[in-house]
Amino acid sequence: MTSAGTSAFTPSSRVRRIKVSPSTAAAARVRELKAQGRPILDLTVGEPDFDTPRHIKDAAIAAIEAGETKYTSVNGTPELRAAIRERMLRASGVEYPDAAITVGGGGKQIIFLAFTASLDEGDEVIIPAPYWVSYPDMVRANDGTPVIVETDPAAGYRLTPELLREAITERTKWLVLNTPGNPTGVAYSRKELEGLAEVLREAPHVRVLTDEIYDEIYFGEGRMVGLAEAAPEIRDRVFTVNGVSKSYAMTGWRLGYGVGDPELIRAVNLLQSQTSSCPSSISQAAAAAALTGDQECVSRCVEVYRQRRDRALEMIAGIEGLEAVVPDGAFYLFVGCSGLIGRRTPEGGTLENDQDVTLYLLESANVAVIQGSAYGTEPFFRMSYATGLETIEAALEAVGEAVGRLD
């Protein structure tokens, strides 16, 4: 209710340009159904089901006991920045100066601030599809124009040099790469990154934001290679974003970091100084322990994810009408469901698109997944295997039974 002489609140055009995250909406719907007593098998959540490792929690507790509960520098504590430099050197062989590092309240905040710091109205950001749901809306919120590039199944849903060259214009400010990616889990090889770098050498006005939040959750041989390592000749234009949320089961700690051009870092830090001031001091202490401590906790989790992935792929292969993209990393399967489009449900409805498929699975099988159209590619759905094997098997068995009831 408004008082006399006042008007109802009207959101700014910036807010009106963006949508609620489909994954957030799906999670909220699952919570509603569970509250109603529905036995939902939830495959929507993009966060590890493991607890934060003990030594990381102990570091946070020790920081609290030591009184490390005050403001820190905008770009984090010296200890955390040193841990990030050490981690980047260990993971990529690239040595960064202190001035090339910024830290924030999660990788998502770092990406948003990088766009805020760099985009003017009409600037274009190339985003390969399938893409993480937040990239286009973060670009729009910062007055930019997302340029969605459809990738080819034959190329494993990876951006190719040919597609990149066609997409670049004089207004292109950024290319976004996510490797391993959400929702597909596919990663770029060194050779593929070198091919993209050849195109980028021809376009010196284009920067690359490479989101490597899942780089430790990698199933390939050896370690994943990032663009800054694969293409040192364009490294000054590469902004690498990472964090502790996925690899160390620390989603709620909200700590991410970015590494790149010190001029961009200064701009991001300036923005953060006027927004959140600094990340949580306790989360920073925990993140430093995560990055410098024993990494066996990560390798154990990766092996569990691998087992879950393989079992899920095996079960999906036995369901007629479904075909999964085989992921190189992360903890998602992007499942093609074109074989279900046009089929009729027992209630007499027709599955006309992937949203219809996800709603049918929710209502008929009590299985929650997210429609592929939310990620810019259809007809697909994304399922997470960051949950127990028992849940995955029960969910896919229910999916198989529900598909079997279709005409």
Task: With residue 172 as reference, give the H or E element that holds it.
Answer: strand 172-178
- 3-state SS assignment for residue 100: helix
Asked if the peptide bond before residue 153 counts as cis, ω within 30 degrees of 0, the response is no
Class level of CATH domain 56-292 = alpha beta
Where is pLDDT greater, at 21 or 197? 197
* pLDDT above 70: residue 398: yes
Task: With residue 115 as reference, give the H or E element that holds it.
Answer: helix 107-118
- 50-65: per-residue pLDDT in tens? 999 999 999 999 999 9
What is the pLDDT of the chain when averaged over all its residues?
Answer: 95
- Report the alpha-carbon angle 325-301-87, nearest 5: 100
* pLDDT above 90: residue 22: no
pLDDT band at 21 (very low <50, low <70, confident <90, very high): confident
Q: Is 293 left (phi over 0), alpha (psi -120 to 50) or beta?
A: beta
CA separation for the pair 280, 253 (Å, rounded): 8
pLDDT band at 383 (very low <50, low <70, confident <90, very high): very high
Domain ranges of the chain: 13-51+297-404, 56-292
Asked whether 49 and 251 are in contact (CB, 8 A), the reply is no
* pLDDT above 60: residue 344: yes
Q: What percent of the chain has pLDDT over 90?
A: 90
* pLDDT above 80: residue 27: no
Q: What is the pLDDT of residue 345?
A: 97
Asked whether 99 and 74 are in contact (CB, 8 A), the reply is no
Q: Does the domain spanning 13-51+297-404 belong to CATH 3.40.50.1000?
A: no
Which residues does 130 contact at the CB level (< 8 Å), separation at least 6?
Answer: 151, 157, 181, 183, 184, 334, 372, 375, 376, 377, 380
- 3-state SS assignment for residue 42: strand
Where is pLDDT greater, at 14 or 351? 351
Q: Are strands 145-150 and 101-104 parallel, antiparallel or unpaired?
A: unpaired
Token pair for residue 170?
């004089």
* pLDDT above 70: residue 131: yes
Mean pLDDT of 221-242: 96
pTM of the model: 0.95
pLDDT band at 219 (very low <50, low <70, confident <90, very high): very high
Q: What is the pLDDT of residue 5?
A: 59
- 3-state SS assignment for residue 19: coil
- 312-334: per-residue pLDDT in tens? 999 999 999 999 999 999 999 99
pLDDT band at 4 (very low <50, low <70, confident <90, very high): low
Q: What is the pLDDT of residue 228?
A: 97
Distance (Å) of CA 98 to CA 36, 88, 117, 230: 51, 12, 19, 22
Q: What is the pLDDT of residue 2?
A: 52
Q: What is the pLDDT of residue 73?
A: 96
Distance (Å) of CA 406 to CA 42, 321, 343, 361, 401: 22, 11, 6, 11, 9
Mean pLDDT of 397-405: 98
pLDDT band at 268 (very low <50, low <70, confident <90, very high): very high
CA separation for the pair 14, 193 (Å, rounded): 34
pLDDT band at 122 (very low <50, low <70, confident <90, very high): very high
Mean pLDDT of 276-286: 97
Q: What percent of the chain has pLDDT over 70?
A: 98
